[in-house]
């Protein structure tokens, strides 16, 4: 994890663009009145996100900064997912991020009096499944075809073709795909 420089975001994108995104996010992505997936993909691309083909973004999704987001082909982002990306989030092909999941790239250093913000990128490799109401913490890589069960918390990398459960999530078995 690295320490966060608050001025860094302003250097990356100007204040006007961030304010415009805030309005767009609230009226288009967080709204339940705008279910047009192709238009959502186009809007994200216009804001600098890298979005693959066939991506589904359901209603109620909250995205902090689209210019720090990459989503591969045919991935699915469920209702009320919160993509809190102060650092880059890379979502591979055929990934499912279920309802109410939280992808969290920032945390505070409780050991320091200044309570500095620390950030770490998240990577969800191809075929991952993040269960409903689950949390993926900063700096975590969910390797190919791993599963994070419902309401679990990933605080460290998930092995490929493995199923994890709990808080903190622990491996409970292998994932066998037939």
Confidence (pLDDT) at 2: 54
Whether 52 and 73 have beta carbons less than 8 Å apart is answered as yes
Tell me the pLDDT of the chain averaged across its residues.
Answer: 92
Q: 27-76: per-residue pLDDT in tens?
A: 999 999 888 899 999 999 999 999 999 999 999 999 999 999 999 999 99
Alpha helices per DSSP H over the chain? 6-12, 15-24, 37-46
Domain count, the chain: 1
Closest-CA residue to 78 (of 126, 25, 134):
134
Q: How far is CA 108 from CA 1, 113, 138, in A?
A: 11, 11, 11
- Residue 13 reports pLDDT greater than 80: no
* Predicted pLDDT of residue 12: 56
Between residues 160 and 112, which one has the greater pLDDT?
160
Domain that holds residue 149: 2-174
Q: Are 16 and 47 in contact (CB under 8 A)?
A: no
| Per-residue pLDDT tens over the stretch 89-123 | 999 999 999 999 999 999 998 899 998 899 999 99
Rounded CA-CA distance 143/81 in Å is 20
Read off the CATH number of the domain in which 153 is found.
2.160.10.10
End-to-end CA distance of the chain: 37
pTM of the model: 0.91
**Is the CB of residue 130 less than 8 Å from the CB of residue 89?**
no
- Give the C-alpha separation, 178 to 1, whole Å: 37
For residue 25, name the pLDDT band (cuts at 50, 70, 90): very high
């Amino acid at each position: 994890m690295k320490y966060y420089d608050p001025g860094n975001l302003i250097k990356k994108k100007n204040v006007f663009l961030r304010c415009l995104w805030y309005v767009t996010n609230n009226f288009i992505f967080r709204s339940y009145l705008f279910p047009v997936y192709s238009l959502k993909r186009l809007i994200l691309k216009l804001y600098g996100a890298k979005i693959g083909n066939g991506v589904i973004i359901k209603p109620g999704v909250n995205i902090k900064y689209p210019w720090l987001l990459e989503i591969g082909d045919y991935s699915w982002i469920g209702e009320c997912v919160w993509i809190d990306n102060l650092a880059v989030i890379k979502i591979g092909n055929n990934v499912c991020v279920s309802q109410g999941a939280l992808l969290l790239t920032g945390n505070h250093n409780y050991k320091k009096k200044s309570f500095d913000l620390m950030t770490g990128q998240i990577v969800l490799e191809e075929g991952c499944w993040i269960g409903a109401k689950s949390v993926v913490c900063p700096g975590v890589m969910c390797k190919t075809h791993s599963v994070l069960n419902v309401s679990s918390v990933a605080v460290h990398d998930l092995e490929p073709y493995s199923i994890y459960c709990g808080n903190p999530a622990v491996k409970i078995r292998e994932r066998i795909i037939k």
